[in-house]
């Protein structure tokens, strides 16, 4: 049950944040500490909306702060959202029967599965990047600028031509002599970049 709003809730939330900021890696495994912190945050339920999203963001920030992650690239929401009932049951088990082992085990499994999924996606991105760079080398595009466009596309799977233009100082012009069909598709959730037959990127000198 969420904690009633008021000064006590604010104080409890501050205590939790202070606890999360302390390096406890010598006494508590960082993943276990993140599981404990997440349970307490969701129990406090400090906001009217968005507690789940904020709580999952705090997982990543806590693991990043503890040095478990070299970059805050972990995404845990898909795994936990796909197991919403099990997730709530595990949280409730701590509240009603102090079943910490069940909760921590469930949480750790989710972190491991999420990390594996992100790793696979990153490796796929590297493969796509290498493939696109090879296409650039075989094309009539100016290599440095085209490679920069490839790198930008891999780093921003969903973007506009204007965004690419602004980021790389590209001037988009109509040019019947230089056509580029370029698409990046990794999964149904990822958008495609498509320069049509009459839209070619040309770099400023």
Same domain, residue pair 99 and 145: no
Q: String of b and e for 18-35 (b: at least 16 CB within 10 Å)?
A: eebeeeeeeeeebbebbb
Which residue did the predictor score with more confidence, 150 or 4?
Answer: 150
Same domain, residue pair 18 and 116: yes
The single-letter DSSP state of residue 4 is P
CA 47 to chain centre: 22
**SS3 helix, strand, coil % of the chain, rounded to 5?**
60, 5, 35
Same domain, residue pair 109 and 146: no
Domain that holds residue 22: 7-120
Is 196 a member of any domain?
yes
Last residue of a domain, one of 85, 120, 155: 120
Closest C-alpha among 39, 3, 122 to residue 73: 122
- Give the span between the Cα atoms of 132 and 138, in whole angstroms: 10
Which residue did the predictor score with more confidence, 88 or 24?
Answer: 88
Same domain, residue pair 103 and 49: yes
pLDDT tens digits, 125-183: 888 888 888 887 777 766 677 778 888 877 776 778 777 778 777 544 434 343 333 43
Same domain, residue pair 55 and 98: yes
- Give the span between the Cα atoms of 11 and 44, in whole angstroms: 11
Q: What total of structural domains would you count in the chain?
A: 2
pTM: 0.71
Is 2 a member of any domain?
no
Same domain, residue pair 101 and 195: no
Which CATH number covers residue 69? 1.10.3290.10
Contact by Cβ (8 Å): 161, 172: yes
pLDDT tens digits, 82-92: 999 999 999 99
Using DSSP's 3-state secondary structure scheme, residue 173 falls into strand
Same domain, residue pair 36 and 65: yes
């Amino acid at each position: 049950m969420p904690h009633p709003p008021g000064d006590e809730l604010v104080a409890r939330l501050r205590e939790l944040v202070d606890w999360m900021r302390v390096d406890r890696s010598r006494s508590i495994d960082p993943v276990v500490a993140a599981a404990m912190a997440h349970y307490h945050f969701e129990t406090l339920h400090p906001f009217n909306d968005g507690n789940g999203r904020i709580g999952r963001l705090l997982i990543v920030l806590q693991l990043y702060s503890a040095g478990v992650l070299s970059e805050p690239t972990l995404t845990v929401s898909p795994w936990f959202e796909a197991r919403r009932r099990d997730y709530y049951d595990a949280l409730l088990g701590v509240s009603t029967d102090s079943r910490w082992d069940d909760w921590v085990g469930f949480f750790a499994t989710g972190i491991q599965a999420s990390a594996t999924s992100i790793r696979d996606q990153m490796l796929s991105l590297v493969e796509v990047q290498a493939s696109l760079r090879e296409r650039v080398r075989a094309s009539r595009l100016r290599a440095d600028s085209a490679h920069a466009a490839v790198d930008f596309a891999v780093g921003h799977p969903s973007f506009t031509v204007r965004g690419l233009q602004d980021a790389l100082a590209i001037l988009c012009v109509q040019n019947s002599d230089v056509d580029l069909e370029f698409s990046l598709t990794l999964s149904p959730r990822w958008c495609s970049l498509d320069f049509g037959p009459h839209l070619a990127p040309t770099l400023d000198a």
